[in-house]
Amino acid sequence: MHVSLRSGVYADSVKLMQVSKAVGARDGVVAVLVAMATPLNLELAAGMGLAPDPGAKPDQLLIALRAVDDAELAAAVTAVEAALTAREERGSADAIPPRTVGFALGEQQETPLAVVSVPGPYAVAEAMDAVGAGRSVLVFSDGVPVEHEVALKRAAHEAGVLVMGPDCGTAIVSGVALGFANVVRPGPVGLVAASGTGAQQVSCLLDMAGVGVSHVLGVGGRDLSAAVGGLATLDALRMLDADTATERVLLVSKPPAPAVAEEVGRTAAGLATPFSSAALSADSPDLTAGVEALLQAMGVDVPAWPTRPGTDREVPAGAVLKGFYSGGTLADEAMLVAAPGLGDVRSNTPLRPELDLGSDFGTSGHVVVDFGDDALTVGRAHPMIDPTLRLEAIAGLAASGEPAVLLLDVVLGHGADPDPAGALAPAVRDLPFPVVVALVGTEGDPQGWSRQADALAAAGAHVFASNSAATRFAVDLIGAQK
pLDDT over threshold 80, residue 93: no
Indicate whether 38 and 168 sit together in one domain.
Answer: no
Per residue in 173-219, pLDDT tens? 999 999 999 999 999 999 999 999 999 999 999 999 999 999 999 99
The count of other CB atoms within 10 Å of the CB of residue 360 is 10
**DSSP character at residue 353:** G
Tens of pLDDT along 114-126? 999 887 888 999 9
- 40 confidence band (pLDDT: 50, 70, 90): confident
The residue among 141, 293, 148, 161 whose CA lies nearest residue 217 is 161
Please state, in angstroms and rounded to a whole number, the distance separating the CA atoms of residues 276 and 368. 28
Number of domains in the chain: 3
Mean pLDDT of 160-179: 94
Has residue 169 got a pLDDT over 60? yes
Give the model confidence (pLDDT) of 370-386 as tens digits: 999 888 877 677 889 88
Identify whether the C-beta of residue 408 lies closer than 8 Å to the C-beta of residue 330: no
Its domain, for residue 54, covers 2-85
Q: Do 289 and 333 belong to one domain? A: no
pTM, two decimal places: 0.86
99 within a domain of the structure (yes/no)? no
Name the DSSP letter for residue 12.
-
The answer to whether residue 103 is domain-embedded is no
For residue 92, tell me if it sits in a domain: no
Closest by alpha carbon to 204, among 470, 414, 466? 466
Query: In the chain, what percentage of residues exceed pLDDT 90?
Result: 72
What confidence tens digit (pLDDT) does each residue in 223-233 have?
Answer: 999 999 999 99
401 CB-contact burial (10 Å; exposed 0-12 / middle 13-18 / buried 19+)? exposed
Predicted local distance difference test score (pLDDT) of residue 289: 97
Q: Is residue 92 pLDDT above 70, yes or no? A: no
393 and 321 co-located in one domain:
yes
Residues in CB range of 74: below 8 A, 6 or more apart: none
Same domain, 325 and 470: yes
Residue 214 lies in a domain: yes
DSSP string, 199-241: HHHHHHHHHHTT--EEEEEE--TTTTSTTTTTHHHHHHHHHHH
DSSP string, 113-127: EEEE-S-HHHHHHHH
What CATH number is attached to the domain comprising 41? 3.30.70
Q: Which helix (H) or strand (E) holds 251?
A: strand 248-253
Q: Is residue 293 domain-shared with residue 388, that is, in the same domain?
A: no
432: left (phi over 0), alpha (psi -120 to 50) or beta: alpha
The C-alpha atoms of residue 98 and residue 321 are separated, in whole angstroms, by 49
Residue 281 sits in a domain whose CATH number is 3.40.50.261
pLDDT in tens, 406-425: 999 999 999 999 999 999 99
Task: Identify whether the C-beta of residue 464 lies closer than 8 Å to the C-beta of residue 457.
Answer: no
Kindly tell me if the per-residue pLDDT of 90 is higher than 60: no
Residue 95 lies in a domain: no
> Do 149 and 224 have their domain in common?
yes
